[in-house]
Amino acid sequence: MKVFSFHGGIHPPENKKQSTRASVRQLPIPKTLVIPTQQHLGLAADPVVSVGDKVLKGQIIAEPVGRISASLHAPTSGTVTAIEEQPVPHASGLTAECIVIESDGLDQWIEHQAIDYKALERTALVNKIRQMGIAGMGGAGFPTDVKLNLGSDHIVTTLIINAAECEPYITADDMLMREHASEILEGIKIIQYLLEPTHTLIGIEDNKPNAIRALNEALADADIDLDLVVVPTKYPSGGERQLIQLLTGVEVPSGKIPADIGIVVQNVGTAQALHRAINHGEPLIQRIVTLTGEAVEHPGNFWTLIGTPFSDLLSAADLKPGALYRLVMGGPMMGVAAETDAVPVIKTTNCLIAATESEMPEAPAAQPCIRCGMCEQACPAQLLPQQLYWFAKGKEFEKAKNHNLFDCIECGACAYVCPSSIPLVQFYRFAKSEIRAEELEQRKADHARERFEARQARLEREAIEKAERRKARAAEAAKAQAERKKQAANEPIKDDSAALKTAAAVARTKLKKAEVALKNAQDKGLDGVDTLQTTVDKLKLAANEAEQALQKSSTTASSTSITPKGEATVAKPDLKALKQQVSIIRTKLKKAEAAEEIDDSAIEALKTRLEEASKAHTDADNALIEKAQGAGIDLKQLRIDVAMAKVAVTKIERAISKSDDETEQETLKTDLESAKSHYDQLESQLKPYE
């Protein structure tokens, strides 16, 4: 198998021997476990337990939120004592949300079982991996389910298992391979099942002969298709992009991810964790941590529960009192110093260096850059470190970005070789976080602008809608008013006689008043008698006119209503109307007679009308009676019979409602039936004449 090469790289002292002398030891269960809810990129997991809850080992305590997120599990059985801000392993030394579990020492497992992953759908298996909280154990802690579920737009040709472990001091993967090589291979099988790569490579540095031997032995027994590639020891060959270049000769383009060129890289630790999760049903709750450095008596590797505070680890390795000068999380090249030993182990904590002052002294004061170019020679990403340094120092972030600052993997090779001891990586980290913050601000500003504009648009729209509603209301009101006017205009036509009557009455009153005033004036001999006289004349004229109009309308009305429309059969519906007419006119006449003021002519007119109406009524009635006689029916008698029958029906009905006895009711009901049928018969006889 051909091994390619990558640009730059350094050969720092390895310091790996100290921690590989003893086999991996199981760390005793700590009293308190502190599990940060955010252990990786993406969103923090959401706690699903509350304070006081009893949890079993392997029980889920926090669920992933969003796509890039991983679930968390209780590392041992115990009680949740707090969900609060605690120091977390982060370069800032800040606190963050953590779930604190007080262990009960029983280490009681929750029910769990192995899964036959080959029988599972791919998506179901990926979901299972997500539930098991598997995240990359190499460094970044990227949730593994995302990496194994790339979707149809990515075809994976090559799977690379990263076993390089290039950073000095760290031996966690080395020890894992020595002791659990077959488990790693089982884990790789699961990844192969999911990704279906055309070939699989394990990249391992040649400074781990024991691990290589263990893997080869396991490979001989296992039915698995992969190539073990031994690469020369050089820092940082374990970097994802560097390892890809070493094994395939392909460079991942700037700004792309390996999956874009069909390559997926997984750490050996992740593969082993996958095996435990799928083939044993154990979620990711422990990992191997290398505890080394000159400040501990017995450096070595420990199976450590996630959430174990560093202090427990340090005491397990027998910390030399007073010797600890610096506690570094991760390796000496990329790790960050912890401010307190209360910080817990998380899924990505592969190493803890308890260094003495002589081992990791304070960095020498930085001197000016002399433009020697050694950093460029060391840079594995083929960047121009000194240019980036100038830009970062001068805060020309835009230029730094244009010089591909974001391709920097922060490996620290440039700072390692710098003869002026310039903390180059710190400058790059500073520049990167400034650029990221600025981009975030910009995104936020754009978002705020969008929201502001949306709000403006909404307010405008609402204003328009309001105006339109107002307009519609106004139009409706105008329409309603017009309708009323029209009705008012129509009314005199409909109810002509009433209006005319009012007009006539008003005219009369006015006339009377004027006459009284005229009389007064004449009696007292006041001025303006002439004007009053003319007014009276005018009013008299108006009153006469109104009276005439009324007369005219009433005669037309009576003529239309009184005149019988031809034969009796046609006039049938008119009989009732005629009757009404007669009675109305009669009432009017009575009223008119009672009121003395009304002059006789009006009473006379009413009298004639009454006569006419009653004559019309009698005529119509007589015509009907004659017609009935023609058919051999005495109409008068018939009418009386109908009325009698109706009364009989009503009587029986009343009796039914009054009586309580059921049998009586029954007989009454039969009576009612017969009475009703009699009435109906008479009624039908009478009908043609009504």
Q: Could you list the residues that contact another protein (CB under 8 A)?
A: 38, 88, 90-92, 94, 96, 365-368, 393, 422-423, 426-427, 429-430, 432-434, 437, 440-441, 444-449, 451-452, 454-455
Q: How far apart are CA 685 and CA 277, in angstroms?
A: 99
Q: How far apart, in whole angstroms, are the C-alpha atoms of residue 599 and residue 501? A: 15
Distance CA 448, CA 450 (A): 5
Residue 562 CB neighbours (<10 A):
20
State how far the Cα of 499 lies from the Cα of 495, in Å rounded to an integer. 7
- The residue behind tokens 């974001």 is 406
What are the respective helix, strand and coil percentages of the chain, to the nearest 5?
A: 50, 15, 35
> At 376, which amino acid appears?
E
CB 165 to another protein: min, Å: 26
- The two most distant CA atoms of the chain are separated, in Å, by 150
CB nearer to another protein: pick between 459 and 526: 459
Q: How far is CA 322 from the centre of its chain?
A: 56
CA 174 to CA 303: how far, in whole Å?
Answer: 13
Q: Which is nearer to another protein, 90 or 128 (CB)?
A: 90
Collect all residues with Cβ–Cβ distance below 8 Å to 164 and sequence separation of at least 6: 203, 204, 205, 231, 237, 238, 243
Strands 95-103 and 78-87: antiparallel
Cα–Cα distance, 268 to 202 (Å, whole number)? 9
Q: Is 570 exposed, middle or buried (0-12, 13-18, 19+ CB in 10 A)?
A: exposed
Report the first-to-last Cα separation within the chain, whole angstroms. Answer: 120
Residue count of the chain, please give it: 690
From CA 269, how far away is CA 649, in angstroms rounded?
103
**The two structure tokens encoding residue 673:** 């039936």
Nearest approach in angstroms of CB 368 to another protein is: 6
What DSSP letter does each residue of 249-294 carry, written as one string? -PPPPTT--GGGGTEEEEEHHHHHHHHHHHHS---S-EEEEEEEST
Helix (H, G, I), strand (E, B) or coil at 228: strand
Tell me if 424 sits within 8 A of 418, measured CB to CB.
Answer: yes
CB contact at 8 A, 659 and 665: yes
* Strand, coil or helix: 109: strand
Tell the burial category of 479 from Cβ atoms under 10 Å away from its Cβ (0-12, 13-18, 19+): exposed
Report in angstroms how near the CB of residue 371 gets to another protein at its nearest. Answer: 14
The CA distance from 606 to 330, in Å, is 121
Nearer to another protein, 34 or 582 (CB): 34
Query: Minimum CB separation from another protein for residue 365, in Å?
Result: 6
Minimum Å gap between C-beta 442 and another protein is 8
Which pairs from 549-557 meet CB under 8 Å and 24+ separation?
549/500, 549/503, 549/504, 550/497, 550/500, 550/501, 550/503, 550/504, 551/605, 553/496, 553/497, 553/500, 554/497, 554/605, 554/609, 557/496, 557/497
Cβ proximity to another protein: between 78 and 139 the closer is 139
**Least spacing, CB of residue 390 vs another protein, in Å:** 12
How many alpha carbons lie under 13 Å from residue 86 in its C-beta half-sphere?
A: 25
Could you please report the per-residue DSSP string of 364-377? PPP-------HHHH
The Cα–Cα gap between 227 and 229 comes to: 6
Distance (Å, rounded) from C-alpha 680 to C-alpha 641?
A: 11
Closer CB to another protein, residue 433 or residue 490? 433
Measured CA to CA, the distance from residue 341 to residue 34 in angstroms comes to 12
Least distance in Å: CB of 456 to another protein? Answer: 8
Kindly state the smallest distance separating residue 37's Cβ from another protein, in Å.
Answer: 11
Least Cα distance to 266 among 141, 132, 95, 175 occurs for 141
CA 468 – CA 326 distance, rounded (Å): 73
